[in-house]
Amino acid sequence: MATVSIELDEDQSLRLRALSAALRRPEEDLAREAVRQYLDDHAESARPETNGRYEALRAMIGLASSGPDDLSVVHDLRRDDPK
């Protein structure tokens, strides 16, 4: 499990502490649950297909046609490139 440190303002800290005591659950568990819920709620907006910047550039993908088309596959086999 990864460790992440965050700073809470005074109100957030007091509310988290109070909720933790009321539910008799560790603050860490409540924080993990809150992060999990936030990520689940926003998972769709993190996908590249729904990201506005990706959509803006999508029409440009594949427009460039200069350069060898097999360079990523045979870059070590090309004899006309100086070493």
What is residue 77's three-state secondary structure? coil
Furthest CA-CA distance within the chain? 73
Q: Alpha-carbon distance 7 to 71, whole Å? A: 47
What pLDDT shows up at residue 11?
Answer: 97
What pLDDT shows up at residue 9?
Answer: 95
pLDDT by residue for the chain (83 residues), tens only, comes to: 889 899 999 999 999 999 999 999 999 999 999 999 998 888 776 665 655 677 777 777 777 766 666 666 666 665 665 55
What pLDDT shows up at residue 77?
Answer: 62
Q: Alpha-carbon distance 13 to 65, whole Å? A: 56
Tell which residue, 9, 11, 13, has the closest CA to residue 30: 13
